[in-house]
Amino acid sequence: MPGLFRAPLRHLLSAWTEIRLAEPEVADLHLDPSLPTIYVLPRPALSDALLLENYTRQHQMPAAEGRLSVDQVSVARCVALPARRLRRWPGRPAVVAPFTELIAANENVQIVPVSVFWGRAPGKEFGFWHLLAADNWQLTGRLRRALSVMVNGRDVEIQFGAPLQLADILDDREPELTNRKVARLLRVHFRRVRTRVLGPDLSHRSTLIEGVVSSPEVRHTISELQSTPNERSHGKLPRLQRRARRYGNEIASNMTYPVLRFMASALRRLWNRLYDGVDVTGLERVKQLAGDSTLVYVPCHRSHIDYLLLSYVLFRDGLMPPHIAAGRNLDMPVVGPVLRRGGAFFLRRSFRDNRLYGAVFNEYLHRLLAGGYSMEYFIEGGRSRSGRMLPPRPGMLSMTLRSFLRTQQQHARSVVFVPIYIGYERILENASYQRELGGGRKHRETPLGLLKVLGRLREEYGRVSVNIGEPLNIASFLDAQQPQWRQENDQRPDWLKDAVFELGQSLCQRINAVAALNPVNLVGLALLATPHRALEYGMLKGQLDLLCSLISPTPSRPGPTLPEGNADAWIDQVVTLGMIDRREQSLGEIITADASQAALLGWYRNNVLHLFALPALVAFSFRSYDTRSIDELTNLLSPLWPMLARELAVPVGDDLRQQLIRIVEHLVAVELLTEQSGQYQPCNSLEARERLRLLGQMIQPSLERNTLLVDTLLASPSGSLSRDELCQRSRSLAERLALLSGRAAPEFFDLRLFESLVDSLIADGWVWEEEQQLVFGSDLQHAASNAMQLLDASLQRRLAAVTGPQEKA
């Protein structure tokens, strides 16, 4: 275009457009200032070129306008890969990439690929937005590009690729062949970026549902139901097909770009009003995977906000939001249609007895994964009322594994789980969680309930953390679990159940490994370790610093994150959120929490208790014995630690002795323990002893609960109690213990915790089931004896007071 028109158009575009996201930062591109720079666009588009020229001017980058002269070669500073033509007309030259002259002259330049997205609509086969404006997988004509600039000018993204030096590609081949190689590398890069940002092409919803209903798997299920009629499946073929289609409509999402864009704008305002900020860690590793792999996001589930928060973060940072598995209870008037258009697909809590529904849902899930769509679901099943990671449910994990085994026959894209920890300084559901843990009935979600939540938006809620854990590639996981899996054609192999269990455990551990420490959970850890929920201000500060010192992130692997600031700022933040109170005293300030505040703090403490479980267990072991060696600690804790580790979803570790050595040496370094001739004992300082005692008391509730359950089991003959009987009896005793000890924490006697403990005993081989009765041997009695050694006389008497009446009964 002549310069007479180009400059005014560039100024007009600069005034009209707003770049919402540009990454990476200019400094992170690491451009070589000694080399000439050529920018490459994926296709010819004047709007993209002008936008790039404006951006490079504003950010002091090498110019993208005009021509570049390198010795005797003159090329444009911004070029585009030519569009591929399916048919070559007579007399029209073949389209080639524009690097031949530079290659022939053996000149070195740095090539920077640039992708520009005007809006971010996932491609659809039909629809107004496909025809009109937003970027998708289809190439755009001039009219459509002009409409796209007009409609999406305030929602533009620029993605820069890593610079590619031409000298690194030059070889002895003909310049034309090398030119094609450069073009091929750039096209692969552009395709990966578009997949990451836009996701794969979306089929129209009705087309997808029809494909599910007519699939061989669903038709086979319908055929079987016809041949074995009963009260649920009796009916003719058309009736069963209509039912399958109805299930498909009930399940399937209807992701649409206008709703995604509306929700991104609305949620940005919501987070700005609700929270002081959203901190995201580790998203770079997701971006590296997104172009080549199908991603399955598996966050922990603490709040209804989780659904919206993760999609918002991904959309904001240049990734396609996932399809989200949501409970059918959220498919309510007004809210359900919006969530469905934002990517939610709905499932029933249980459909084990409905074969047709199960077949439709499995096929729908398989088509999403096989199509390369990213997905999100919560492996815990529901929100955690206790604040800790719940045991994983096998349903969605099993369906994902079966779908993966099915697609591997076609050499499909790799599937990678992305574990995510979401941590809050304050959640919206505080009151309802406490009511439910105390025995209250769970209220059904309604639009009216949502309006009540909106009325609390003016309150303080602090910050939110979204931490990305270490991704888990399904193929690599199966290689370690079942090396021969590639040679099997069975979609339900015998080893699937065990693999699903191990997969769930691994994902829970990876989520917990990247927990976010914040002022609320740190204060909760320290304050709730005291019998009366009160600490001197200076002691609390010292305890917060001690807890942070125990966290040592590993550079090679993602780990926990620490809050910004210092202990004084953290305490101020928790006071601002209304979680604790300050009491001015003549001898110094005291921090306290009343019963209701303590119940809330317990939920946040449980978010991160697992990070300190083993150090706390070591500190607790010095409660009744002043001197211990490493060998004594190892022998004492070896039977106890695996059960605690499984309960808290942390790895047991390969060498407990080495872990104990590191912890004890750290406690010596912070002057809580002293060492003499291989024997360790608490320091003589009263303050040091108190800090060690507070550290140990963090794990005391878990030890008491575990000991209570094991004592309840041992009080009856082996094989006389079922799982449900043991859990119910233990829960009643734990509630009694909570009343006797003044522990105002309903989560202490949460039934799901006892169910998880029984699962841990069975998984570790302490207990096994015979004819639905729990059977145990002498090893369990030995472990119980070790646990009792940790408890001092007062704690043993307290447990005896609780379990004594039960034993007599």
- Do 566 and 505 belong to one domain? no
**Spatial separation of the C-alpha atoms in residues 235 and 227, rounded to whole Å:** 10
Question: What is the predicted pLDDT for the residue at 82?
Answer: 80
Whether the per-residue pLDDT at 1 is higher than 70: the answer is no
pLDDT confidence tier of residue 135, bands split at 50, 70 and 90: low
**Spatial separation of the C-alpha atoms in residues 39 and 710, rounded to whole Å:** 68
For 199-253, write each residue's pLDDT tens digit: 876 667 888 899 999 999 999 999 888 877 554 545 578 888 899 999 999 999 9
Q: Tell me the two tokens of residue 117.
A: 């997205």
Q: Who has greater pLDDT, 325 or 140?
A: 325
pLDDT confidence tier of residue 438, bands split at 50, 70 and 90: low
Asked whether 114 and 77 are in contact (CB, 8 A), the reply is no
Amino acid residing at 694: L
For 64-117, write each residue's pLDDT tens digit: 888 888 777 788 889 888 866 544 455 544 555 667 777 777 778 889 999 998
Which range is least confidently modeled, 76-85, 438-447, 582-591, 735-744? 438-447
**Spatial separation of the C-alpha atoms in residues 210 and 218, rounded to whole Å:** 11
- Do 661 and 794 belong to one domain? no
pLDDT confidence tier of residue 795, bands split at 50, 70 and 90: low
Amino acid residing at 360: V
Question: What is the predicted pLDDT for the residue at 121?
Answer: 60
Q: Exposure pattern of 73-104 as b/e (b: 16+ CB <10 Å)?
A: eebebbbbbeeeeeeeeeeeeeeebbbbebbe
Question: What is the predicted pLDDT for the residue at 808?
Answer: 41
Which range is least confidently modeled, 48-62, 70-84, 117-131, 636-650? 117-131
Q: Tell me the two tokens of residue 12.
A: 């007009």
pLDDT confidence tier of residue 660, bands split at 50, 70 and 90: very high
Is residue 428 included in any domain, yes or no? no
Average pLDDT over residues 643-657: 88
- Do 688 and 723 belong to one domain? no
Is residue 216 included in any domain, yes or no? no
- Do 9 and 111 belong to one domain? yes
Is residue 213 included in any domain, yes or no? no
Average pLDDT over residues 622-634: 86
Asked whether 356 and 243 are in contact (CB, 8 A), the reply is yes
Domain end, chosen from 650, 678, 697, is at: 697
Average pLDDT over residues 18-38: 88
pLDDT confidence tier of residue 18, bands split at 50, 70 and 90: confident
Whether the per-residue pLDDT at 384 is higher than 60: the answer is yes
With pLDDT > 90 as the criterion, what percentage of the chain qualifies? 38
Q: Look at residues 622, 782, 787 and name the one whose alpha carbon lies nearest to residue 702.
A: 787
- Do 681 and 730 belong to one domain? no
Cis peptide before 24 (omega within 30 of 0): yes
For 47-61, write each residue's pLDDT tens digit: 899 999 999 999 989
**Spatial separation of the C-alpha atoms in residues 221 and 225, rounded to whole Å:** 6
Average pLDDT over residues 589-606: 91
Question: What is the predicted pLDDT for the residue at 126?
Answer: 40
Domain end, chosen from 697, 720, 752, is at: 697
Question: What is the predicted pLDDT for the residue at 125?
Answer: 41
Q: Who has greater pLDDT, 209 or 489?
A: 209
The three-state (H, E, C) secondary structure of 766-782, written as one string:
CEEEECCEEEECHHHHH
Is residue 233 included in any domain, yes or no? no
- Do 664 and 557 belong to one domain? yes
- Do 193 and 132 belong to one domain? yes
Determine the structural domain holding residue 163 and report its residue range.
3-198
Question: What is the predicted pLDDT for the residue at 87?
Answer: 46
Q: Tell me the two tokens of residue 673.
A: 């323990």
Q: Look at residues 443, 739, 695 and name the one whose alpha carbon lies nearest to residue 748.
A: 739
Question: What is the predicted pLDDT for the residue at 81?
Answer: 87
Q: Exposure pattern of 567-598 as b/e (b: 16+ CB <10 Å)?
A: beebbebbeebebbeeeeeeeeebbbbeeebb
Give the C-alpha distances (Å, rounded to integers) separating 102 from 61, 68, 94, 401, 583: 22, 11, 19, 49, 75
- Strand ranges in 195-328 using DSSP code E only, listed in sequence order: 277-281, 293-299, 323-327
**Total number of domains constituting the chain:** 4
- Do 192 and 304 belong to one domain? no
- Do 534 and 508 belong to one domain? no
Residues 17-21: contacts with CB within 8 Å, 24+ apart?
17/51, 17/149, 17/153, 17/154, 17/156, 18/153, 18/154, 18/155, 18/156, 19/51, 19/55, 19/156, 19/157, 19/158, 20/154, 20/155, 20/156, 20/157, 21/157, 21/158, 21/316, 21/317, 21/318
For 527-563, write each residue's pLDDT tens digit: 999 988 899 999 999 999 999 999 976 666 788 999 9
Sign (positive or negative) of CA dihedral 700, 702, 705, 711:
negative
Average pLDDT over residues 762-769: 86
Q: Tell me the two tokens of residue 488.
A: 């099997």
Is residue 209 included in any domain, yes or no? no
Amino acid residing at 576: T
Any bridge partners for residue 39, and if so which? 78, 112
pLDDT confidence tier of residue 701, bands split at 50, 70 and 90: confident
Question: What is the predicted pLDDT for the residue at 140?
Answer: 52
**Spatial separation of the C-alpha atoms in residues 38 and 65, rounded to whole Å:** 10
**Spatial separation of the C-alpha atoms in residues 274 and 268, rounded to whole Å:** 10
Maximum mean pLDDT: which of 206-215, 689-698, 761-770: 689-698
- Do 407 and 355 belong to one domain? yes
Is residue 436 included in any domain, yes or no? no
The CA-CA-CA angle for residues 249, 228, 491, to 5°, reads 65
Whether the per-residue pLDDT at 436 is higher than 80: the answer is no
Average pLDDT over residues 477-495: 86
Mean model confidence pLDDT for the chain: 84
Asked whether 159 and 301 are in contact (CB, 8 A), the reply is no
Question: What is the predicted pLDDT for the residue at 150?
Answer: 82
- Do 690 and 705 belong to one domain? no
DSSP string, 333-346: TTHHHHHHHTTEEE
**Spatial separation of the C-alpha atoms in residues 702 and 790, rounded to whole Å:** 13
Amino acid residing at 484: Q
Is residue 240 included in any domain, yes or no? no
Asked whether 521 and 388 are in contact (CB, 8 A), the reply is no
Packing angle, helices 613-621 and 630-637, rounded to 10: 110
With pLDDT > 70 as the criterion, what percentage of the chain qualifies? 86
Any bridge partners for residue 629, and if so which? 679
Is residue 427 included in any domain, yes or no? no
Domain end, chosen from 659, 676, 697, is at: 697
Give the C-alpha distances (Å, rounded to integers) separating 485 from 131, 407, 475, 481, 500: 45, 13, 9, 9, 14
- Do 562 and 621 belong to one domain? yes
**List of residues 6+ apart from 33 with CB closer than 8 A:** none
Whether the per-residue pLDDT at 591 is higher than 90: the answer is yes
Question: What is the predicted pLDDT for the residue at 447?
Answer: 57
